[in-house]
Amino acid sequence: DAGVTQSPTHLIKTRGQHVTLRCSPISGHKSVSWYQQVLGQGPQFIFQYYEKEERGRGNFPDRFSARQFPNYSSELNVNALLLGDSALYLCASSSGFYNEQFFGPGTRLTVL
Amino acid sequence: SQQGEEDPQALSIQEGENATMNCSYKTSINNLQWYRQNSGRGLVHLILIRSNEREKHSGRLRVTLDTSKKSSSLLITASRAADTASYFCATDAKDQGAQKLVFGQGTRLTINP
């Protein structure tokens, strides 16, 4: 079975631009979460979506938004990119609350 | 803010030795998960231990959980060069109905041949 997949693998943008990151969960998983990992630190929670509804939001500005589609895949959007948005963006899927969260390979975003 | 705090921040041992990493957290949890990360790639799930469990094994991995001390440990026995990676503990945090993992900064493990 395929694990969590994310696209693209790498992305280079300039300040002020917009970016869309995509995630496909493990088949049968209805929960998708997004995390940001800055170099040298642990991942930080951005969003969780479950059954296409936002269930939680971390301490990130409104420039960050996300959505989940009927097939449970998800998009993370970041507007007006800042240099500080450069990070590894990780997507995780889970079969339900308080179960294991499985992560994808991540998207490395570089903002110049 | 990060709830989990791993200790030590870095650990270097010889191949074949055992490696022990510790994690402390601040609030009540439903479960605690350990992950491995190689060179800034995605996180690999190692093991989940629930709050009503005290010890769990998976292959060469042994995880303990002490909810009274709010701490957990990960033991890797008979270490191999391929175990070189960063290891993170993550606690779930009840957040108005969301499943939100809170990570520490990780332990960087180096296995020397």
pLDDT, tens digit, for every residue of B57-86?
Answer: 999 999 999 999 999 999 999 999 999 999
Phi-psi category of A98—alpha, beta or left, where left has phi over 0 and alpha has psi -120 to 50?
A: left
| Cβ burial, residue A48 (10 Å; 0-12/13-18/19+) | buried
- Cβ–Cβ < 8 Å for B69, A25: no
Asked whether the beta carbons of residue A45 and residue B4 sit closer than 8 angstroms, the reply is no
**What does the pLDDT profile of chain A (112 residues) look like in tens digits?**
689 999 999 999 999 999 999 999 999 999 999 999 999 899 999 999 999 999 989 999 999 999 999 999 999 999 999 999 999 999 999 998 788 999 999 999 999 9
> In whole angstroms, what is the distance from residue B35 CA to residue B48 CA?
9
Q: What is the predicted pLDDT for the residue at B85?
A: 97
Q: At CA B98, angle to CA B93 and CA B103, rounded to 5? A: 40
Q: What is the predicted pLDDT for the residue at B95?
A: 58
> In whole angstroms, what is the distance from residue A111 CA to residue B93 CA?
30
User: Closest to A90 (Cβ–Cβ): which among B33, B43, B102?
Assistant: B43
> In whole angstroms, what is the distance from residue B113 CA to residue B107 CA?
19
Q: What is the predicted pLDDT for the residue at A58?
A: 92
Q: B1 pLDDT exceeds 60?
A: no
> In whole angstroms, what is the distance from residue B105 CA to residue A55 CA?
25
Nearest to B101 by CA among A107, A103, A101, A32: A101
Torsion of Cα atoms, B86 then B84 then A86 then A52, to 10°? -60
> In whole angstroms, what is the distance from residue B111 CA to residue B16 CA?
9
Residues of B with CB under 8 A from a CB of A: 2, 4, 30-31, 33, 35, 40-45, 48, 50, 88, 90, 92, 95-106
- Cβ–Cβ < 8 Å for A43, A60: no
Q: B110 pLDDT exceeds 50?
A: yes
B5-57 tens-digit pLDDT: 888 999 999 999 999 999 999 888 889 999 999 987 899 999 999 999 999 99
User: Closest to A31 (Cβ–Cβ): which among B4, B31, B99?
Assistant: B99
Q: Does the CB of A94 have a partner CB in chain B at under 8 Å?
A: yes
Q: B96 pLDDT exceeds 60?
A: no
Beta strands (DSSP E) in chain B are: 5-7, 10-14, 19-24, 31-37, 43-50, 55-58, 61-66, 71-76, 85-95, 98-103, 107-112
Q: What is the predicted pLDDT for the residue at B4?
A: 67
- Nearest chain B Cα to A97, which residue? B99
Q: B97 pLDDT exceeds 80?
A: no
- Cβ neighbour number for residue A77 with a 10 Å cutoff: 13
